[in-house]
Amino acid sequence: MIRFLLTKTNKVTKGLDLKDKTCLITGANSGVGLEMTKCLNLCGCTVLMACRNTYAASVVAKNTCLKPDSLRLYELNLASLRSVRKCSDDLLNKEKKIDIVILNAGIFGLPWTETVDKLEITFQVNYLSQYYLLMNIEDILADNARVVIISSESHRYVTLPFNEILTPTEETLSLPKNKYSSIKAYNISKLCGILAMHNLGYRWLNTKKTVISAHPGSFVKTRLCRNWWLYEAIYTGMKPFTKTIAQAASTPLYCATSSDLNGLSAIYYKNCERCQESDLASNLQLSFRINDLTKDIIRDRVTMSELPVSLSDTRQKHDVEHNIEDSLLTNYSN
């Protein structure tokens, strides 16, 4: 298996010429994000590194990337919607076109923490803020842009009561302290990412834009596990049996760059192969409801002038009486 993964990793970006491409990566300064930055930079791609600490990111980039002149840094604190908006404005002002977006940043293992926006931090950082960022910069996405949302197999462990599937609330996603566990919050955030993929895939159905979710690997030893010594010990113990960071980057890179995936959208990948997500994650009606809820959560926390058109438009219809044509669903499911 490891030999197979090594072969896959070496093949993903071999011979790629991305000189005319621009890629935005969140959390690009460490772990899988940094590995993807290095590989895309080597292929000539202009990489926009969206990171909380731009100074540290610049130091790391100069020491690890062969073409540092092709890197541009943007400050982004995903625990603050105001910071996300500022980063979005900077991108809109400075960039003409973005061809690839990789929503990679993530946190895990924190005690219950509330952000300045009064949201549970794992939900906001892993999902909400990155979705808000994407919607803010939609106007400068290339006509054939490809978006990769980093997900996880752990999304399969989320179960929701029937009433929360029908009418999810803010507490369904942004867990209150009395219902919180770090694992549950992480799993929910990854489920939200896949549901967002389906919603975007449906909304972009008649365009050339595509969106894919990618699972890098389980128990990959990165800074993700740094927040609690127990997780650090578990990930360290699992290290001989799991992917390296370079191997973990192979699936997201494949999803971001492979011509094999041209025209395909709203699909979930692991080990560089298509994989079926959970029933809950593939529920298109739920993806509409979560999208509407996401809009409401953001609207409650930003001014109207800070809302992109995609978040201020009319709500999507997803009631039981709303019938989607069979032919349209067939096209959507590729």
Q: Can you spell out the DSSP letters for 257-271?
A: H-GGGTT--SEEEET
Arithmetic mean of pLDDT, 114-121: 97
Work out the average pLDDT over 135-142. Answer: 97
Structure tokens at 298: 């953001």
Mean pLDDT rounded to a whole number for the chain: 86
Distance of CA 227 to the CA centre of its chain: 21
| Amino acid 109: pLDDT | 80
186 is catalytic: yes
The band of 231, judged by pLDDT with boundaries at 50, 70 and 90, is: low
Backbone angles phi, psi at 260, to 5 degrees: -60, -20
- Asked if 132 and 298 count as a contact pair (C-beta separation under 8 A), the reply is yes
Mean pLDDT of 165-184: 96
How far apart CA 137 and CA 247 sit, in angstroms, is 30
The more confidently predicted of residues 182 and 219 is 182
User: pTM value?
Assistant: 0.87
What residues contact residue 205 under an 8 Å CB cut-off, 6+ apart? 265, 328, 331, 332
Please identify which of the residues 74, 186, 235, 268 carries the catalytic annotation. 186
Which band of pLDDT confidence, cut at 50, 70 and 90, is reported for residue 35?
A: very high
| Interval 238-282: pLDDT, tens | 555 567 877 889 999 999 999 999 999 999 999 999 999 999 999
